[in-house]
Amino acid sequence: MKKILLASRNTDKIQEVVAMLKGTDFELVTLDAFPDVPDVGEPALTFEGNAIIKAMIVGRKTEMLTIADDSGIEVDALGGRPGVFSARYASGTNEDRCRKLLKEIANVPEGERGAQFHAVIALFDPVSEKIRTYEGIQRGRLLREFRGGNGFGYDPIFFSDEMGKTNAEMTQEEKNAVSHRGKALRKALEILRELYPV
Alpha carbon distance 195, 28 (integer Å): 17
Contact assessment for residue 124 and residue 55, using Cβ atoms and an 8 Å cutoff: yes
Continuous segment of H or E residues that includes residue 37: none
125 included as an active-site residue? no
Q: Is 23 helix (H, G, I), strand (E, B) or coil?
A: coil
**Confidence at 173, pLDDT banded by 50, 70, 90:** very high
Contacts of 40 (CB under 8 A, 6+ apart): 7, 53, 54, 57, 58, 68
Q: 3.30.70.330, 2.60.120.10, 1.20.120.330, 3.90.950.10: which CATH number matches 2-195?
A: 3.90.950.10
User: Identity (one letter) of the amino acid at 87?
Assistant: A
Assessment of whether the complete model's pTM goes beyond 0.85: yes
Amino acid 145: pLDDT: 97
Backbone φ, ψ for residue 94 (5° rounding) = -60, -40
**Percent residues over pLDDT 90 in the chain:** 82
Q: Catalytic: which of 32, 39, 69, 70?
A: 70
